Amino acid sequence: SPTGDSWGIFTFLCAALCNLPALPALNCSEELGAGQSIQQTYDLTRYLEHQLRTLAGTYLNYLGPPFNEPDFNPPRLARAERVPSATVDLDLWRGLTDNARLAANYRAYSRLLCYLRVLDGQVGTAELRHRLAHFCASLQGLVLSIGGVMSSLGYPLPAGPAGPPTPPGAPAAPNDFLKKMDDFWLLKELQTWLWRSAKDFNRLKKKVPPAVVTLRLEARGF
């Protein structure tokens, strides 16, 4: 009968599937590892961009006027030069090798993370400390992710740990306004770095061809 035939076919397929060996087939190549690493880093960069928009607004409100005013655009002070600057000519930046751009990103975010951790210990509200701590954890993940991309592409990590945010003997901000100015520039540079990094990783993922994954099914006795 049709019902009996259907049941017989179903039973045969189940038996055949049960006799298949375990699939050793998802043999991920280095290209796949690099592609996955680049995609994850790109996604994390975009997530941090979104996260920073909220954090920056909250923090600038905490600093108060004029820092939270939309048209506030002060000149960069000499003392703020310790914060890694992303204001490099775009053509010069694109002219760097992938290795050089990745190394610059790795060093910059390692340094920016040091500044943010100091910031986290200075703010006066529990909610803002919580937001900063969460952002620091995400940024630490980005540093590790960039390191993973470099390793997957065969590039060495930049030598030497990031130095302390304030070199020994360096004077602290002489007044509250200049201290707030340092914080303002830290957030501004972070925004620019993340915007540019997203573009870097978007271009990089297009350069790494997707790996072809082949499944080899060796059906014993078939």
Each residue of 70-128: pLDDT tens digit?
A: 899 887 776 656 677 776 678 888 889 999 999 999 999 999 999 898 886 777 788 89
pLDDT tens digits, 25-64: 333 334 447 888 999 999 999 999 999 999 999 999 999 9
Amino acid identity for residue 145 in this structure: S
CATH T-level fold of 41-161+174-207: Growth Hormone; Chain: A; (1.20.1250)
Q: Where are the domains of the chain?
A: 41-161+174-207
pLDDT tens digits, 137-190: 999 999 999 999 999 999 999 875 455 455 444 456 668 888 888 889 899 999
Mean pLDDT of 185-201: 92
* Residues with Cβ within 8 Å of residue 24, at least 6 apart in sequence: 216
Distance CA 29, CA 210 (A): 10
* Residues with Cβ within 8 Å of residue 206, at least 6 apart in sequence: none
**Which of 175, 210, 161, 168 lies closest to 36, judged by CA?**
210
